[in-house]
A and B are shown apart, each in its own frame.
Chain A
């Protein structure tokens, strides 16, 4: 059964600090891994899409890494802002994706 596990479940950090979110996946077939940001009460917004051959991809202050050998990905947020408070969702698969439950990030002043 395809599974995507995200950790931590929730995280609180001070504004300006960095943080890293984790995603472990057991998905077949696998060709790409995605990170989404979902604000409360809104739809997910795509942050990064990586193929199995890519190791890292950046989108502004967001940097995703992928290790296809260990089936792990991380999302690093640099110099956090209050507007980064949201749920971050990892999805893995090929044409169809399996999604994790998300990590809820709270950035406090």
Chain B
């Protein structure tokens, strides 16, 4: 039982390049989330998927797209990376989208955009 896994662990991009961050969970959870964490700032929600087949914008969705591929997998795509997207990206999952659901976080992807 690996929990939430993310790939890659580290990535360096040049401005304008694209990439997809992968996330998978093996807990049979319905809801999945993408957050970014920047130095000196709190976690901020980018997108979430309440259930398979649905996605919704969070606090900072600009510059990102997501795909809920199936119940297990939720990917985050940067179409044209910008230095402002340098951050640590965390994927999380929860059993449902209830207000009291525990969110389980992955280990993170550290992204540097030059």
* Residues of A in contact with B (beta carbons under 8 Å apart): 4, 31-32, 41-46, 49, 51, 89, 91, 94-102
Contacts and interface: CB of A to CB of B under 8 A. Distances in A.
A102 B100 contact: no
Given A32-B100, A49-B100, A95-B97, A43 B90 contact: yes
A91 B92 CA distance: 14
Interface string B41-54: 11111001000000
Interface in B29-82: 40-45, 48, 58-59
B45 A97 contact: yes
A32 B99 contact: yes
Interface of B: 4, 40-45, 48, 58-59, 90, 92, 97, 99-100, 102-108
A20 B40 CA distance: 21
A42 B107 contact: yes
Nearest to A2: B59
15 contacts: A31-B99, A42-B107, A42-B108, A43-B90, A43-B107, A44-B90, A44-B105, A89-B42, A89-B43, A91-B43, A96-B58, A96-B59, A97-B43, A97-B45, A101-B41
B99 A43 contact: no
Contacts of B108: 41-43
Given A44-B105, A96-B48, A99-B43, 13 more contacts: A32-B99, A42-B108, A43-B107, A44-B43, A44-B90, A45-B105, A46-B103, A51-B99, A89-B42, A95-B99, A99-B42, A101-B40, A101-B42
Contacts of B41: 101
A95 B100 CA distance: 8
A106 B22 CA distance: 32
B62 to A, nearest CB: 16
Contacts of B100: 32, 49, 51
A90 B106 CA distance: 18
A44 B108 CA distance: 10
